[in-house]
Each structure stands twice: as structure tokens, then as C-alpha cells.
Amino acid sequence: MLSEGQRNDINYAIPLLEQVDIKESDILADRGYDSNKLMDYIYAHGGEPTIPSRKGAKFDRYCDWHLYKERHLVENYFLKLKAFRRIATRYDKLASTFAAFICIASILIWLK
């Protein structure tokens, strides 16, 4: 799913998770995704959130830090994508051309 650059990604977390079966899956995300609505959705659909609590939260939720470290693989992929200036600055006006270039850049990353 593509979103506007100025929108917070958590607005698209539940619509994105609705497209996949999360039963008996671990959902990894950073502290920015710590919300009661998202946690309730994950638990209601049989998933297990691996999302640390925000700093200063009243209640510190359990987080499997060993599993949470696997999130860096996705973060590294996004860093490689942002090495392509066209993606980092989002020159494309249409979402379809932007998504197409992400596919091309992903192929180039995979071929390296």
C-alpha cells in the first residue's frame, strides 16, 4: 500500500493487516505502532504483537527483544531502496509509476 508522505504509517497498519492472515503470526513493528486499537486487532485475529511500548507508557508491555531484532532486515531493505534518489524524493506524481520504480529498484537490489 502506498500512502502520502505526510501521513502517519499507523493509519494504514490495520488496512494492510486485513489483507493477510495473521493467525499464529508475530507482527513486528517499532514503537510508533504502539496503539491500543492495533494491539486489539492483532490479538483478535490470533496474532502476537512484537511491538515495544512507547517510552513513558504507563504499562510496559512484554516484547521479545530477540525476535524484535529481526526487524532490522526490513529496515535495511528500505535503506537500500532510499539509495535510489528517485524513491527517496518521490519525484513521480502517480502512485502507479512510483510503485513500478520500487519494483525495478527491488530487482536491482536482488541482483546485486
Is 77 found in the same domain as 58?
no
Residue 84: give the domain boundaries: 64-111
Is 100 found in the same domain as 50?
no
SS3 15: helix
Is 2 found in the same domain as 51?
yes
Residue 31 identity? R
Q: What is the pLDDT of residue 79?
A: 94
Q: Which residues contact 27 (CB under 8 A, 6 or more apart)?
A: 17, 42, 47, 48, 49, 50, 51
Domain count, the chain: 2
SS3 27: strand
Is 90 found in the same domain as 45?
no
Is 75 found in the same domain as 51?
no
Is 4 found in the same domain as 45?
yes
What's the pLDDT band for 2 if we cut at 50, 70, 90?
Answer: confident
DSSP-assigned letter for residue 50: E
Question: Rounded to whole angstroms, how far apart are CA atoms 85 and 97?
Answer: 15
Asked if pLDDT for residue 110 goes beyond 70, the answer is: yes
Q: ∠ at Cα 6 (100, 60), nearest 5°?
A: 110
Mean residue pLDDT of the chain comes to 90
Is 56 found in the same domain as 12?
yes
Mean pLDDT of 83-92: 87
Is 50 found in the same domain as 3?
yes
Is 73 found in the same domain as 57?
no
Is 68 found in the same domain as 48?
no
SS3 24: coil
| pLDDT top residue among 9 and 72 | 72
Is 98 found in the same domain as 79?
yes
